[in-house]
Structure 1
Amino acid sequence: MPRIAIVAAQWHAEIVDQAVSAFRERLTELGIDEVDVFRVPGALEIPLHAKRLAVTGRYAAIATSALVVDGGIYRHDFVAGTVVDALMRVQLETDVPVFSAVLTPHHFHEHAEHRDYFTRHFAVKGRELADAVSATIESLAAIG
């Protein structure tokens, strides 16, 4: 049975954890029970953790999740793009598939409407992430 890792940023943990929970639940439904969760402070810490996990050889795939928002000071789209680019390099350098649910909305505000919406949205993304992991593991196994 394949072992999967998920690396989740703790910035907006109450939202990001919805993706982690839904990811684990969906993988269990798909017959994959070995999932290790690694929590990191923020999105920029994800690629290094993903690479360290990939080179161990213990994981068939690595998933990631973060919510990168516009805090008014930094370019959130730059942060998210940097993370996703680094994750692509990790999978190409290590030959371990790496999946991203590092999401950056156009607008995010701390009021209840946005928090509720993104809480639900991350649960959906967690399930989609699990489906992508499962399908990719199967397709790569078929290639050999």
Structure 2
Amino acid sequence: MSGNGAPELTVEGAQGLRVGVIAAQWHTPVMDGLLAGALAALDEFGITEPTVVRVPGAFELPVVAKALAENGHDAVVALGVVIRGGTPHFEYVCAAATDGLTRVALDTGVPVGFGVLTCDDEQQALDRAGIEGSKEDKGREAATAAVATAVALRKVATPQR
């Protein structure tokens, strides 16, 4: 499992942040778990009313992430899952989602938590979905990363005395 070496992030000072969460609709059990994990993390940080948007699939995540970032959100959490099949479609969708979300973060200065699972099979996705029997909760991790980065950006933007 890839979770070895993951940092233990603590997030303080997230109150008042406006966070958007985008979740794809493919692979319902996986996506429901990712979304639940992200929302639980946000609630723990005091972010009780995030904007939640559902999109058809991972390919559509970047355009909605950009809209949220450009419309006053301090952080965006992008959740999706792409499972390898027998065609190159997997590589195209994974690259488009990854490149697009990176571009949104760099172009807007708004952190984007990357919660897009890119798995060889459905079991790998289920193992990372944060549902009963999962080994990891990538929805929670993506939300934590986005909010921790937004808090860090606040510190950078505020002169320290």
User: Shorter-normalised TM-score: what interval?
Assistant: 0.7 to 0.9
Unmatched segments (≥5 aa) in structure 1: none
Percent identity between the aligned chains? 38
TM-score by length of 2: 0.78
User: Which residue of 15, 29, 32 maps to 2:47?
Assistant: 32
Does 2:91 align with 1:84?
Answer: no
- Please give the alpha-carbon distance, in whole angstroms, between the structure 1 residues aligned to 2:54 and 2:88: 22
Deviations 1:20-78 (A, max 9, x none): 11111111112221211110111111111111111112x11011011101232343123
User: What are structure 2's unaligned runs of at least 5 residues?
Assistant: 1-15, 131-136
Paired position in structure 2 for 1:133: 146
Q: How many pairs align?
A: 136
2: distance between equivalents of 1:141 and 1:26?
Answer: 19
Moved over 4 A (4+): none
CA drift of 1:120 comes to 4.3
Aligned-residue offset at 1:134: 2.3
- For 1:11, what is the secondary structure of its paired residue? coil
- Alignment correspondent of 2:65: 50
The range that moved more, 61-70 or 30-39, is: 30-39
Q: 1:118 aligns with which of 118, 121, 125?
A: 125
C-alpha separation between the residues in 1 aligned to 2:144 and 2:85? 31
TM-score by length of 1: 0.86
Contact 1:7-1:63 at 8 Å conserved across structures: yes
Distance in 2 of aligned mates of 1:48 and 1:130: 18
Root-mean-square deviation (Å): 1.5
Indicate yes or no: 2:23 matched with 1:8: yes
Q: Deviations over 1:104-130 (max 9, x none)?
A: 11x215xxxx2xx53341221111112
